[in-house]
Amino acid sequence: MTDQTNTTLEKLTAIEKSVKEIEVKGKYQSLIERDEFFTFFNILSFLSVSLIIGFAININEPDSLHRDIFFWGSLFSKLALYILIINYIYRFKFITYFYELKFTKVITTFIFSIVLLFCNTKASSLINDLFGVPAHDLPYSLAFTTTFYLINYISNALLIIGVICLIGLVILCVADAFTDKNATPNQNWWTVAVLLIFAITTVGMQNKEVSEASIKQKAYWLALQMDFNQNYYCQNIKKDYSVAFIGSNQEKVIVNMNTVQSKPIKFEDFLTRTPISINTNLYGKTDFPVVSCKVIDIN
C-alpha cells in the first residue's frame, strides 16, 4: 500500500513539475515575443518619426530629389505608424478578448458597412453639388472621394483610441517616477513619444490632406482628370472641351468648358497642397452644362 502511495505521489509530483515547466516555458515564450515586437516597434517607429520630422523641416524647400525622398518617406512612415499603433493596441489582452467575443466581429463589420455607406452618400452629395449631375456618372471621382472620407473617419477613431492609450501611459510613467526616484526612462516613455507624434500627425492630416475643403478640391480634380476626357464623337462640342457621358443611354454629356483646369498636377500637390488650378471656389455648376451629344448619321 505504501509503495502504491509513493508511486502515486511521484507521478503527481512529476505532473506538477511538468505543468510548472510548461508555465515557465509559456511565460518565457511570451516574453521573447514581447521583446521581439518592441524591438521591431522601436526600430521602425524611430525611422518613421525621423522621416516625418525630416519632411516637416524641408516642407518649404524647392522641389528636388532630396525633398521628394523625404515626402515619399514621410508618406510611407505615416502608414507604418498607423500599422504599428494598431498592432500595439491589439496587444492589450482585454481588447483581444473583446474582439474575439462571439458577436463583436459581426457588429464591427456592420458598423464599418454603415460608415462606408455614409461616406459614399456624403461623396455623392458633394459631387452633385460640384457638377449638378448624379455622382454615379462620375465613378472615379465618387470612388476616391468615398475613400478619402473613409480615411478621415477611420483616422478619427484611431486618434481617439491612441489618445486614450497616450493618457494611460503618461499616468503610468508619472506614477513610476513618483514611486521610484531612481527609475530610468523605459519602453513606455518611447511609446508615449510615438503616440504623441502619431496624434499630432493625424490631427495635421485631418486639417490638411483629408479636411472637408481638401476633399472637395480632390473630388473636383479627380473628376476633371479621370472622368472627363477629350476623346468623344460629339459634333456639336468644341474639341478644346472635355466631356463625361451621363445617363443610362449615354446620349447626353456634361461639358467641362474650363480647359485650363485640366492641367495635371504633381501627386504631392494633389495630396497635401491647395493649388490654384483646382480652387473650386472660382467655378460653379454653370461651367459644366449638360447637352445632347449629336453625331453624324452615316445612313
pLDDT tens digits along 54-102? 888 877 777 777 778 888 888 898 888 888 888 888 777 777 788 888 7
- Phi and psi of 229, rounded to 5°? -150, 165
Residue 209 · residue 155 · CB < 8 Å: no
Q: How many CB atoms lie within 10 A of CB 77?
A: 24
Q: Reading across the β-sheet that carries 242-246, which strands appear in turn? A: 242-246, 252-256, 290-292
pLDDT grade for 259, boundaries at 50, 70 and 90: low
- Kindly report the three-state secondary structure assignment for every residue of 116-174: HHHHHHHHHHHHHHHHCCCHHHCHHHHHHHHHHHHHHHHHHHHHHHHHHHHHHHHHHHH
3-class DSSP state of 246:
strand
pLDDT grade for 271, boundaries at 50, 70 and 90: confident
- Global pTM reads 0.76
pLDDT at residue 277 tops 50: no
Of 242 and 153, the structure prediction assigns the larger pLDDT to 153
- Phi and psi of 209, rounded to 5°? -65, -40
Question: What integer is the mean pLDDT of 192-202?
Answer: 87
Of 231 and 79, the structure prediction assigns the larger pLDDT to 79
Q: How far apart are CA 37 and CA 73, in angstroms?
A: 22
Question: What integer is the mean pLDDT of 246-251?
Answer: 77
Q: How far apart are CA 138 and CA 224, in angstroms?
A: 10
What is the per-residue pLDDT for 15? 58
DSSP one-letter code for 62? P
Percentage of the chain lying above the pLDDT 70 cut? 77
pLDDT grade for 119, boundaries at 50, 70 and 90: very high
- Max Cα–Cα distance, the chain, nearest Å: 113
Strand-pair category, 252-256 with 290-292? antiparallel
Q: Specify which of 67-76, 90-99, 119-128, 236-245 reaches the highest per-range mean pLDDT.
A: 119-128
Percentage of the chain lying above the pLDDT 90 cut? 11
Count of H helices and E strands in the chain?
A: 8, 3
- Can you tell me which residue has the cell 471621382? 141
